[in-house]
Amino acid sequence: MTEIIASVAAGKAVVQGVLAAEALRKAAKLQGSSIEVEVHTSEGVLNKLSAAQMQQASLVLLVGEGAALPEATAPRVTASIEQVLADPAALLGGPKQAVKRIVAVTSCPTGIAHTFMAAEGLLQAAAALGHEIRVETQGSVGAQTPLTPEEIAAADLVIIAADRQVDLSRFAGKRLFESGAKAAINDGQNLIRRAFEQASLQGGATGTATPQKAAGVKTGPYRHLMTGVSYMIPFVTAGGLLIALAFAFGGIYATEPSHAHSFAGALFEIGAKSAFTLFVPILGGFIAYSIADRPGLAPGMIGGLLSSLLGAGFLGAIAAGFLAGYFTSWFNKTLKLPRALEGLKPVLILPLAGTLVTGLAMVYVIGTPIADIMNFMTNVLKSMQGSSAVILGLLLGAMMAFDMGGPVNKAAYAFAVGLLSAQIYTPMAAVMAAGMTPPLGIALATYLFPSRFTLDERESALSTGALGLSFITEGAIPFAARDPFRVIPCNMAGSALAGAISMAMGVQLKVPHGGIFVLPIPNAVTHLGVYAIAIIAGSVATALALGLAKRNAAILA
């Protein structure tokens, strides 16, 4: 027997009506009650209640203007959709939650899309739960809307929704909960509830415990690697664009000694011999920084520079970063000094010991074998022709669309970016084409097959397409979250096709980000026409697959 029934009159506000219905279902489940909710929209009725359900219910909720259940005889409660979203438990007879103050930090490896999507998810979730929240976004241009000491001091809870290392020292003594950015994007309300239940004191001047981390959160090697990648990307981007401009001004002779004092030669000096020289040490340094904080930075960067000098490339920098970070962290915990000498550890003892151990290991133990592996991989990738190149393109393309900014996507992207130091540019082209395809394909599908998408999805198509043109794969996430078992395979098929065409035609891309906005730069990409065909073909394939696979939006809802 259904204890509670509800009718939501949503009209054209389809999304808000569906969200209100879902909020009521979750609130009833938490209270141990059963509920059935019908939603009246301009496109039809979702989950229409039967006469038997109306007659058997013990409580009737009428939500929105015009909501009615004439056959129901139980006591009635009326409310607006906004009231339901703010506090559904109160309408079901549950206790109203006390308003809590929350501060949060969101961040992702590239600091472009996930950072701000996670912030939006937390803002909406806190509003729906009736809590106050302030979110600091640590994006690619640094901290936006930074939290003040007063806001942190007044907070009841700190939430860190990040896929890279975040400095927690300012939250000492506060109840803190760590999660990945995707948890905030996919289900911010559940994240906030878990945070209140599971958060623990952050260690520091006034706290001794360590922060609680959400189950399954990438807090180990993955997060450390992504921290290094996030700091490396600006060096690669700047260097790649400057190299392209050098060739634009000086042609293929820009690298010759005769052009050393020309404008093109200066651009090449800045891009290739400075920015590209630095990005490998930066990768190693910030991996170590993520593990051991500031004492690990010098050993990691020096190990990364040794990797470049030894020919071990980005693989050697990754190894040096992890070695420097874990050794420095272990040595810091192991070495006990009198209080008067503790100040020497971070500025003298730890950097010296970490640099010595990492440097000797790179020179005598791991540098040469990794250089051999790097040379082997370089030769194999350069020799890839025909079917072998197509297979690599298919694989990289499918990885880029699998989780749209998640670990698999970032693994493919980091692989392609790392190869730029070895002057292998074809995987980067395949990865960018494949990353642009899912949002572009979905945007196209909303115009070709409008009945397969809700009104809200169709209205967001333009912004989704713009994200795709900018190489922000995360624009496809809202569509995939609604219907993952149909959308994700379609995205993977289109991206795999785009990656395969790009690799098969030998397209080279020297810039790791920017989408179509970097393509017109001379020499940034080779075979520009073929590359455009690869992106278009992948997008069209995605759109057609979605048209075949997805059901009518009203049925899906």
| Closest by Cα among 388, 395, 108 to 227 | 108
Q: How far apart are CA 421 and CA 278, in angstroms?
A: 10
Q: Which residue has the tokens 């009615």?
A: 68
Pair 348, 292: CB distance under 8 Å? no
Beta-strand pair 175-179/157-162: parallel
| Closest by Cα among 438, 429, 399, 432 to 504 | 429
Q: In Å, what is the CA distance from 325 to each residue of 297, 316, 320?
A: 8, 14, 8
Q: How far apart are CA 528 and CA 514, in angstroms?
A: 15
Beta-strand pair 200-201/175-179: antiparallel
| DSSP code string of 75-100 | -EEEE-HHHHHH-HHHHTTPPPPPP-
Q: Which of 60, 103, 108, 557 is catalytic?
A: 108
Structure tokens given for 341: 């000498």
Active site residue 108: yes
Pair 438, 401: CB distance under 8 Å? yes
Residue 273, CB half-sphere, CA atoms under 13 Å: how many? 10
Chain-centre distance of CA 379, in angstroms? Answer: 32
Chain-centre distance of CA 382, in angstroms? Answer: 30
DSSP state of 453: S
Q: Which residues contact 232 (CB under 8 A, 6 or more apart)?
A: 279, 282, 283, 286, 417
Is 434 buried (19+), middle (13-18) or exposed (0-12) by CB count in 10 A?
buried
Q: Which residues contact 412 (CB under 8 A, 6 or more apart)?
A: 396, 399, 400, 431, 434
Pair 270, 329: CB distance under 8 Å? no
Q: How far apart are CA 19 and CA 131, in angstroms?
A: 18
Pair 439, 475: CB distance under 8 Å? yes
Q: How far apart are CA 316 and CA 371, in angstroms?
A: 7
Beta-strand pair 4-11/157-162: unpaired
Residue positions annotated with a catalytic role: 108
